[in-house]
Amino acid sequence: MELDFIRSDGISRAEDNITKPMANIANKFPENVPGKYYVDNQCIDCDLCRETAPNNFQRNEEGGHSYVSKQPENPEEERQCKEAKEGCPVEAIGDDGA
């Protein structure tokens, strides 16, 4: 009972969330298919997501950016989309869409 006050690691996690840029669903490109994953307007067209999850991300040639062309439909695609999200250098991929 005396040790309860020591557990305060929630504070550092909260600070991480504030400082780390995140994809914003309000800024997602209209080409994204409906669903969990999307690309927002921070995309710098680096190609990483299209290499990592080629079944799910495509390039908008005119706009010069990526978008989600298909939501993941199996565990392997889900893994690749998650990897793409984590690897995106500008946090332009979100997974909180609907």
Residues near ligand SF4 (CB under 6 A) are 39, 43-49, 66, 88-90, 92-93
Residue 38, C-beta contacts closer than 8 angstroms, at least 6 positions apart: 23, 25, 28, 29, 32, 67, 68, 93, 94, 97
What are 65's strand-pairing partners? 60
CB of 76 to ligand SF4, least distance (A): 19
CB closer to ligand SF4, 9 vs 46? 46
CB of 80 to ligand SF4, least distance (A): 12
What's the CA gap between 2 and 4, in Å, rounded? 6
CB of 45 to ligand SF4, least distance (A): 5
